[in-house]
A and B are shown apart, each in its own frame.
Chain A
Amino acid sequence: MKRVQKFSAILLAIMVLLFNISIGATTVKAEEGAPAYNYSFWGESVSAPDAYQAKKLINGNSLGIGSFNQPNDLHVTNDNQVYVMDSGNNRIAILDQEFKTLRTVDSFMNEGAKDTFSNPQGLFVTKDKDVLIADTGNHRVVHLDEDFNLVKIIEKPQSELLKEDYVFEPIRVVVDNADRIFVMAAGIFDGFMEFNVNGSFNTFIGANRVEVDPVEYLWKRLSTQAQRSQMVMFTPTEFTNLDINDEGFIYSTNGDQSEDIIKKLNARGTDILRREGYYSPMGDIRYPLDVGPSRLIDIDVTDSEIYSVLDSKQGRIFTYNGDGHLMYVFGGLGNQLGEFHTPTAIERVGDNFLVLDKELAEITVFGTTEYGRTLNEAVRSYYRGDEEKAFQFYKETVNMNANLEFAYTGIGKALLRQGDYKEAMHNFKQSLDQQNYSKAFLLYRKQVLREHFSTGMTVILLLAVGTLIFRKYRKMTRGKRVVSIE
């Protein structure tokens, strides 16, 4: 009897346990990743559907090449091959689009001898599949061709713009269409170093402006020369990363506290990023005080001027369209799939995202959800000027996320072209877009006035004539009355 009791107690415990587990499992599923959000016109965070979902994890072991060690950079070529800069192992791993290992490279032939890398931080692959490696530990940039034969090595440039004791430590490197090489190096405050085709130093471009804190400035003005020399100098902030798009514009991020932490630099180094969104593209605009504003450490630009930035503080990835409207946010710090420990690099493979985690030495692959796909396509069609398609896609998008205000501008513009001014006005009102609303309104007003011109004019004329006759009539009768009284 006792035994039966004991047995049933165990059974009960198991059942409770199972029940708990099943509950636990469901809750975990419900909370997968952080809830997605976007920012409204009023700067409030509003909920949004997930645009991306973590699909799988890749690490060195699963690739069969031994685990990565402190990987720092990623690059994806046009045919979707993934190059991973495995800094701690001083090697490059190349994966195909199914994320199978193609090969690894850890050395190259330099003047007949085998040469290796030392803590390389960044890499870039050109259209011809030449590979450039920022070989930080060896103070050089190595340029290899498709088959990893040496093309050239860029050493510390000889220039009067640089101090004698300057140590060249390239961190990231990109190459533009004219084969000019742009290097982001540690300890350089004057912008990116630009090298020409044969590797000789041209100039610096795109220096960040010095941000002066007024209080600090006052202190400096009040202090003596001797005191001043002891103080920290006002120096422009360093860049944190860069990327280049097909048209040769450099997109950069920096560690400023200003609103211009993302920049799009033209060949002259002028910032031409469009900031037409409801607020400047700068990652989070609302954040806990103890965390502070986003620190953007990587940027990836894809077609249609869509670009994404990676915030290292909260591990989030923000994607903006060319106008600077926030499209979607995903990621976060944590232990679940789709969250990171120390994210360092992001890249897009088609519409998928790769996020490289340095400490965990793994890559998370994100795939689009239906919402993300629709929104991507909407923004693309809009960028191409295909308003009919953009209209369809934006319509679908707002069906899934009514909080996405800028989508209504897309819908409104298509309606405006179709001549449905009233609906267009309504949509521009939804996206709080006064400029376009005004355009639609002017057309609508003209239309209404034209339609009702004849009736309106007739009524006015009739009224005018009517009052005239009425007055005359009253005058006549009154005159008569006066006469009759007299």
Chain B
Amino acid sequence: MNREIIKYPFYLIVHPFNGFWDLKYEYNKRINLIISFIILFLMIVTNILGSQYSGFLVNLYNPENMNSLMEVLYVVVPVLFWCVANWSLTTLMDGEGKFEEIFVSTCFALIPLVIINFPWIWLSNLISMQETAFYYFSNSFAVLWFLFLLFVGNMTVHQYKPSKSIGTILLTIVAMGFMAFLCLLFFSLIQQMVAFINVIYQEIVIRN
């Protein structure tokens, strides 16, 4: 069984249609969730290590601007936004997927980003300027693979046709934009309120 759990994600990324189907209908939900969180965690680790330890030729970074916590957010926030936006849309558009399923399929789609980028963190230290083309090629390949898996996963989870699936994905991106806007609005309002209360407090304190 354990062996199965480790093997399964790799089976899924090369056989996405069967893989996502089994993921939705055959496998244990709890174990799926656990694997998803592990993948998300690995993605975060890859991201942090990548921005710190990637080779100098592919990664010019200002150590003053490097913040591991922000790197965590760069992974978690888009995934969360994507899942929420996708779920909100598909419940209105006859999607069959539950939130949990959307989350699990999204996380499984991240696998190529981890298994390709992770070795490249160290490999990129062993390449010259001319060889960075391979690095960028692999990176783009990983992204394309990820997008394909995301597409298939979404299609399978909601039982959509390909065309409708593409439409929902585009709409989801728009919805993510709206969510980002609302969040900004919310935070800036809260900030204003906090500042207002702070000012009043100061005024009262200084008066006495």
CB distance from B62 to the nearest CB of A (A): 5
- Measured between alpha carbons, how far is A42 from B56 in the docked complex, in Å? 15
Does B129 count as interface, using CB distance less than 8 angstroms? yes
Contact between A434 and B57, CB atoms less than 8 A apart: yes
Structural contact, B128 and A434, CB atoms closer than 8 A: no
A442, B128: Cβ atoms closer than 8 Å: yes
Residue-wise interface mask of A (32-43) relative to B, using a CB-CB cutoff of 8 A (1 in contact, 0 not) = 000000000010
B62:A434 contact, CB within 8 angstroms: no
The answer to whether A435 has its CB under 8 Å from any CB of chain B is yes
Answer yes or no: A445 CB below 8 A from chain B CBs. yes
**Complex: how many Å from CA A432 to CA B60?**
8
Contact of A437 among B57, B62, B64 (CB under 8 A): B57
Task: Name the contact of B128 in the complex, choosing from A42, A429, A432, A438 (C-beta under 8 A).
Answer: A438
Nearest Cβ in chain A — how far from B171, in angstroms? 32
Between B56, B62, B130, the greatest number of chain A beta carbons within 10 A of the residue's beta carbon is seen for B56
A445 to B126, CA, bound (A): 8
* Alpha-carbon distance A437/B62, docked complex (angstroms): 17
> Which of A42, A438, A445 sits near B57, CB closer than 8 Å?
A438
In the complex, the answer to whether B62 meets A435 with C-beta atoms within 8 Å is no
* Least distance between A257 CB and chain B CB atoms (Å): 27
Q: How far is the CA of A42 from the CA of B60 in the complex (A)?
A: 10
Give Cα distance in the complex from A259 to B62, angstroms: 24
Bound CA span A445–B127, Å? 9
Measured between alpha carbons, how far is A442 from B60 in the docked complex, in Å? 19
8 Å CB contact of A445 from B56, B60, B128? B128
Interface centre among A432, A438, A445 (most CB of B within 10 A): A438
Is the CB of A204 closer than 8 A to any CB of chain B? no
A441 within 8 A of B: yes
What is the CA–CA distance of A445 and B128 in the complex, to the nearest angstrom? Answer: 9
Q: A440: nearest residue on chain B (CB-CB)? A: B128
Q: In chain B, residues 53-89, which have Cβ atoms closer than 8 Å to a Cβ of chain A?
A: 56-57, 60, 62, 64
> Which A residues are in CB contact (< 8 Å) with B62?
42
Query: A434 and B126: CB pair below 8 A?
Result: no
Residue of A nearest to B65 (CB): A42
Contacts of A437 in B (CB 8 A): 56-57
Bound complex: CA of A211 vs CA of B57, how far in Å?
A: 35
Binary interface profile of A, 304-330, with partner B (CB < 8 Å = 1, else 0)? 000000000000000000000000000
State the Cβ distance, A3 to closest chain B Cβ, in Å: 48
Which A residues are CB-close (under 8 A) to B130? 438
User: Which residues from A are CB-within-8-Å of B128?
Assistant: 438, 441-442, 445
Per-residue interface assignment for chain A, residues 427 to 450, with 1 indicating a CB less than 8 Å from any chain B CB and 0 otherwise? 001001011011001100100000
Whole-angstrom CA separation of A434 from B64 in the bound complex: 19
User: Bound complex: CA of A408 vs CA of B43, how far in Å?
Assistant: 36
- State A434–B126 Cα separation when bound (angstroms): 14
Nearest to A429 among chain B residues (CB) is B56
Contacts of A438 on B, CB cut-off 8 Å?
A: 57, 128-130
Bound Cα distance A429, B126 (Å): 15
Alpha-carbon separation in the docked complex, A438 to B60 (Å): 13
The interface bits of chain B over 122-150 (1 if a CB of A lies within 8 angstroms of the residue's CB, else 0) are 00001011100000000000000000000
Q: Which residue of A lies closest to B64 (CB)?
A: A42
A434 to B56, alpha carbons, bound, how many Å? 7
* B122 → A minimal CB distance (Å): 14
| Chain B residues with CB below 8 A from A432, complex form | 60
Docked CA distance A441–B126 (Å): 8
- List residues of chain A with CB within 8 A of the CB of B60: 432, 434
Which residues of B lie under 8 Å from residue A441 when comparing CB positions?
57, 128
How far, in angstroms, from A415 to B56 measured CA to CA in the complex?
19
CA–CA, A434 to B54, complex, Å? 14
Rounded to whole Å, the gap between the CB of A335 and the closest CB of chain B is 36
Q: How far is the CA of A429 from the CA of B60 in the complex (A)?
A: 10
CB contact list, A400-432 vs B, under 8 A: 429, 432
Distance to closest chain A CB from B95 (angstroms)? 44
Query: Using an 8 Å CB-CB cutoff, how does the interface string of B20-64 with A read, 1 for contact, 0 for none?
Result: 000000000000000000000000000000000000110010101
| A 57-85 binary contact with B (CB < 8 Å = 1; else 0) | 00000000000000000000000000000
Q: How far is the CA of A442 from the CA of B56 in the complex (A)?
A: 13
Task: Tell me, rounded to whole Å, the shortest Cβ–Cβ distance linking B13 to chain A.
Answer: 29
* Contact sample, A vs B, 12 pairs, CB 8 Å cutoff: A42-B62, A42-B64, A434-B57, A434-B60, A434-B129, A437-B56, A437-B57, A438-B57, A438-B130, A441-B57, A442-B128, A445-B128
Interface residues of B (CB under 8 A from A): 56-57, 60, 62, 64, 126, 128-130
Q: 9 tightest CB-CB pairs across the interface, nearest first?
A: A438-B129, A438-B128, A442-B128, A42-B62, A434-B57, A429-B56, A441-B128, A438-B57, A437-B56
17 extra interface residue pairs, beta carbon distance < 8 Å, beyond A434-B56, A438-B128: A42-B62, A42-B64, A429-B56, A432-B60, A434-B57, A434-B60, A435-B129, A437-B56, A437-B57, A438-B57, A438-B129, A438-B130, A441-B57, A441-B128, A442-B128, A445-B126, A445-B128
